[in-house]
Amino acid sequence: MSCPRLTSPQSTEYKELMAHLRREEEARMYEQMTNPQPDIITPAGAALFTPSFEARRQEEDEMTYSDVNRQMTLIFNVIVTIVACGVSIWLIARHFSAPARLALSMGGALIVGIAEVVIYAGYLRRLTEAKTKEKGKREVKSITETWRTEKAEETSTAKGNGKIRYRKPQS
């Protein structure tokens, strides 16, 4: 459709053309909203509805659940260790006065709690260092062993005689 030459911006032809263009744009927008095309990427939030994003989000959710489970187990173990240490010091110091027993058991439990946190922080630091070091490594593939099969020849001078034999890789 060709655009008529407009003499003034407010002519009736101009108004009709603009109304027609608006209707076409509204119809196109409605069609796009009701029947989205997978190959058309809209600027705002298009990546949220792609299949790869959905799979990645599920993978992150699974990682999140396993991380939460591991962290809850860790917290439970630390609490059990701290309480067990405090109770054992309380029972061992039964000949001391109550304030001294309380101070010893609370101090011992505090020291065990600090030690647990320091050990776990060191573990996380080493884990992070190992991950970065492993990402930096380049995987090199090489052939370590080969098997060769040979057909038996009719002559008696054949070395293979149809048997499978091991051959060392060439360096």
Question: How many residues appear in the chain?
Answer: 171
Asked if the model's pLDDT at residue 89 lies above 70, the reply is yes
Q: Contact 74/116 with Cβ under 8 angstroms?
A: no
User: From CA 59, how far away is CA 67, in angstroms rounded?
Assistant: 12
Q: Which of 20-29, 130-139, 148-157 has the lowest mean pLDDT?
A: 148-157
Please name which of 105, 78, 100 lies closest in space to residue 90, comparing C-alpha atoms. 105
Burial classification of residue 103, based on how many CB atoms lie within 10 Å of its CB (0-12 exposed, 13-18 middle, 19 or more buried) = middle
Asked if the model's pLDDT at residue 129 lies above 80, the reply is yes
Query: Which pLDDT value is given to residue 58?
Result: 67
pTM score of the predicted model: 0.45
* Amino acid (1-letter code) at residue 13: E
Q: What is the pLDDT of residues 104-123, one digit of tens each?
A: 999 999 999 999 999 999 99
